[in-house]
Amino acid sequence: MDGLNFKASLSREFPPEGLGAPLAALWWDAKGDWIQAHALVDELETPEGMAVHAYLHRKEGKAGNADYWYDRAGRKFYRAELEAEWEALVQGLKA
């Protein structure tokens, strides 16, 4: 699934089947359900899951927690706008 199809799927009530947890978390985040998004990556110990986890805490306004998860994911704090980070994560996690 490319980024355009992923974005188009946001008009649905539920995410498309077969999305990995990090991409599904970004789907729920785009739908405004931070809690559901966070639940999907909260205990996910993969670099992708930890990067999305970091993004979610950054969006929450908890920079210290975000920095912790960025470090665990092996990434630097992405300082662009949140929307740009969401886009970059989606592109990197294509289903």
pLDDT digits (tens, 9 = 90+) for 76-93: 766 679 999 999 999 998
Single pTM value for the model:
0.92
DSSP states along the chain: --HHHHHHGGGSSSPPTT--HHHHHHHHHHTT-HHHHHHHHTT--SHHHHHHHHHHHHHHT-HHHHHHHHHHHT-----S-HHHHHHHHHHHT--
Number of structural domains (the chain) is: 1
pLDDT digits (tens, 9 = 90+) for 19-77: 999 999 999 999 999 999 999 999 999 999 999 999 999 999 999 999 999 999 998 76
User: Residue 31: which domain range?
Assistant: 3-92
Given this model, what pLDDT does residue 78 score?
67
